[in-house]
Chains A and B, each alone.
Chain A
Amino acid sequence: MTTSLRLRAGLVSIVLLAAFLGIWHLATRSTAPVATMSPEYAKLMGLTATQGKSAMPGPLDVGAKLWEHLKRPFYDNGPNDKGLGIQLAYSIGRVGTGYLLAVIVAIPLGFLIGMSPLLSKALDPFIQVLKPISPLAWMPLALYTIKDSSISAVFVIFICSIWPMLLNTVFGVASVRKEWVNVARTLEVGTIRRAFTVILPAAAPTILTGMRISIGIAWLVIVAAEMLVGGTGIGYFVWNEWNNLSITNVIIAILLIGIVGMLLDQILARFTRMVTFPE
C-alpha cells in the first residue's frame, strides 16, 4: 500500500515536472526575425532584438549552462569570477559561522530565561521588539559599526537566526512537565544536574525545531546579504549575473539555492528525529 502510494506520488511529480518544462519551453520559443534590418546593424544587436528570441531563457538553455557549471565547479578566474562550488562554499561558510554563534548564545540564554519566570517576563518585551526586525535592516548599522562587510554578513546571519532558537528554547524549557521537575526535586537532584538530565532531554525536540527554523531563515537571508555586500558567495553570483542580464545563470543559482536549502533543512530534521521521544 505504502509503496504503491509512493510510486504514484513519484509518477505525479514527474508528470508535473514534465508539464512545467514543456510549458516553459513553449512559452520561450523564439519567433521569426522581428523586422528587417541591415546586416551591419543586426551584427551590433543582440539575439532578442534580431531573432525575436525571448528575454527569458528556455529550459534547454538553462540545462546546457548548468552542465557547463557542473563540469567546472571550482574554477577561479580572479576575485570577481569564481566557480559555483566556491561561491556556495563561501555562502555555507558564512551561514555556518553566524548560525553556530547564534546557537552558542541562544541556547544557554534561552535555558536561563526559560528556567526563571522573572527573567522570562522581564526580557519578553525586548525579544518581542527585536524579533520582527528584518535582518537586512541591521545591515547598514552593521556596516557602519563593524566596518567590515564579510563580518557584517555573518552578523546579519547571527541576528536573524538567534530569535527562533531563543524563543523555542525558552518555550521548551518552560513547558517541561511540572511532574518531572517535581520528581527530580523530591529526589533532591541539584539544579545543574536537573537542567542536564531532566529539562534538556525533555526540551530537546522543541529546541531543535527552533534550530531548524533558524537554519532556513539564515539561508534565506544570506543570499540577500551577499547581494548587498558583494565579493563572494552565491548571492553575489546572482547579482553579478543580473548585472549582465544573464537570466539563465540567475535561474541556475535559484535552483542551487533551493537544493542547498533543502539539504540543510533535511540535516536538522534528521537531528530532530534523533532526540524525539515517544511519550
Chain B
Amino acid sequence: MSTFDNPFDPDRKLGAGCACGQHRSAEEHEQATALRCDPFESEEKRYEGVVASAVMRAMFPQDVARRAFLKSVGASTALAALSQFFPIKTATEVFAQAGTPEKKDLKVGFIPITCATPIIMAAPLGFYSKHGLNVEVVKTAGWAVIRDKTINKEYDAAHMLAPMPIAISLGLGANAIPFAVPAIENINGQGIVLATKHKDKRDPKDWKGLKFAIPFDYSMHNYLLRYYLAEAGLDPDTDVQLRSVPPPEMVANLRADNIDGFLAPDNVCQRAIYDGVGFMHLLSKEIWDGHPCCSFAASREFITTAPNSFAALTRAIVDATVYASKAENRKQIAEAIAPANYINAPVTVLEQVLTGTYADGLGGVKTDAKRVDFDPFPWQSFAVWMLTQMKRWGQIKGDVDYKAVAEQVYLATDTKKLMTEMGLTPPASSYKSFAVMGKTFDPTKPEDYLASFKIRKAS
C-alpha cells in the first residue's frame, strides 16, 4: 500500500496499475507526475485527511482487513468510529505544528521582482505566521549582495536565481559553500523586451551588434537569451553584447538608449512597456514553457543547525506558492505585494504580470494566463539543464557530475516528503524531460545534449 492514495476507498485496486506501482492506472500515474495543486476546502481539512489516513493505516495494516471493515461500515462511519477512540483533531493540530522551530525570528532576503511573489506575499498574507515563524522579508540591492548577505548569515534564507545556489555550491564567482534549494519560486514570467525603435526588427537573425542586458551571469535569463540567440545563428559572445545590469536600471538604460533590449524578470518588462520605452518581443515561456526562474535557497549549514525552522519555512513557501498558482488569487496578491515595503511598483503593472492580461507595447492587449506561474517542486532535471548551459558557455570547465550536483543542491526528495505531509501531490520522479525551443532535453544524457550544440564557447 502506498502513502499516496486514500485508504478509506474500499474500491482501490491493490495490484500494480502503473509503472511505479503507486497509482491505479497509467493515466493516474501521469497525472500525479505532472504536479498539480488540488484545492482543499481548508488547511485543517487537508492535514486532517493526512492524519486520518495515517491512523487508518496503522489500525489496519492488512489491506484485506481494512477493506472488509470499510465495506461493512462505510468511510464516514469508519472515520467517526476512529475519532471515538483516537483524538484525530488533536493529532492534526500536533501534526500541523510539526517540530518546534529552533529559531523563530528569521530574515529572508528578496529582490523586488514578481519572481519573489511567494516569498514576499507570505509575509502580508500570513503564511509565515501560520507555520509558527516570525519572518522579516528584507529587500536587497542586487544578486551579488543577496549572495554575500546569505553567505554571511545576515539572512537565514533568500530569494536567488535558480542557477545561483548551484554556482555558489560549486564555488563559481564565490567561495564554494554548500547551498540547497528546497523550492522553486516561479516558472515562466520573464520576457525579451526591445526598445520601441526596433519594432520592425522582430527576427533575431537581424540582431547582430545589438546590446542586451541580463540581470546576472548565473541566471536563467542569461542562459535563455544565449540559447535563443544561438538558435538564430548568433554567437552571444561575439555577435552581440551582453551586460549584467540590475533590473531597475534596465528600464532607465533602455530609455537612455544605452541598450537595445533585455531579457529580464517581470515587472521590469511590463514596467518598460508601462513607461512607453519598449515592447514585448517574446515571453520567456515561448522559449521554454515551464522553465524555472528563481528559487528559494538556504545554506546547508542553516538546514543542519535549524532543521525545524527550515522545514517550517519551506512549508510556508510551498503553501504560498500553491496559493499563488491559482489564477483567482492573483489580483489580491498583486495588491498585497505592490506597496513600497515590498516590490514598490504600480499595482496596474503587477496585475498585468500576474493575471497575464497585458499591454504588449505596440498598441495591443494580449492574454496569456500562464505568463507567470508558480510551482514549488525543485526538479533535479532543471539543475542538470542549467549545468549543461554553464558548461556550454564556459562558466564551468572540465568534467561535471551532473547528477550528483543536481541531487545535492535541489532537494527534491525532502520537498517531496514535505509536500506529501502537507497533503499535496508531489510528482513521483525528480527528473523529467522537457523541450526548449522544440528541442527535447533528456536529463539522463546531459553530455550528448551539450555536444549537440554547434554554437558554444570553445573549451
Binding site for B on A (CB under 8 A): 34, 37-38, 40-41, 43-46, 48-49, 55, 77-81, 143-144, 147-149, 227-231, 239-245
Contacts and interface: CB of A to CB of B under 8 A. Distances in A.
B274 interface: yes
Contacts of A81: 339-341, 344
A262 B339 CA distance: 32
B344 A240 contact: yes
A79 B248 contact: no
18 contacts: A44-B348, A44-B358, A45-B274, A45-B359, A46-B274, A48-B275, A143-B148, A147-B152, A148-B154, A228-B145, A241-B344, A242-B249, A243-B112, A243-B248, A244-B248, A244-B345, A245-B248, A245-B251
A228 B149 CA distance: 12
Interface residues of B, number: 39
Contacts of B138: 79-80, 230-231
B255 A55 contact: yes
B374 interface: no
B344 A243 contact: yes
A273 B329 CA distance: 64
B26 to A, nearest CB: 44
Interface of B: 112, 123, 136-141, 145, 148-149, 152-154, 248-249, 251-252, 255, 271, 273-276, 339-342, 344-346, 348, 352, 357-359, 363-365
B252 to A, nearest CB: 7
A143 B148 CA distance: 8
Contacts of B149: 149
B284 to A, nearest CB: 20
A77 to B, nearest CB: 5
A245 B342 contact: no
Contact of A230 (B141, B345, B346, B357): B141
A80 B152 CA distance: 20
Contacts, number: 96
B252 A38 contact: no
Nearest to B110: A80
Nearest to A245: B251
Contacts of B346: 46
A150 to B, nearest CB: 9
Given A44-B348, A230-B145, A245-B251, A77 B340 contact: yes
Q: What are the nearest 10 A-B pairs in CB distance?
A: A49-B276, A81-B341, A44-B359, A147-B152, A81-B340, A78-B341, A46-B274, A243-B248, A244-B344, A80-B139
B252 A245 contact: yes
A42 to B, nearest CB: 9
Contact of B276 (A48, A144, A227, A239): A48
Most buried by B among A37, A40, A43, A245: A245
Contacts of B357: 44
Nearest to B357: A44
B363 A37 contact: yes
B283 to A, nearest CB: 16
A49 B271 CA distance: 11
A130 B341 CA distance: 39
A64 to B, nearest CB: 17
Contacts of B339: 77, 81
Given A79-B137, A240-B139, A44 B365 contact: yes
Contacts of B154: 147-149
B153 A147 contact: yes
Most buried by B among A40, A49, A239, A242: A49
A7 B166 CA distance: 67
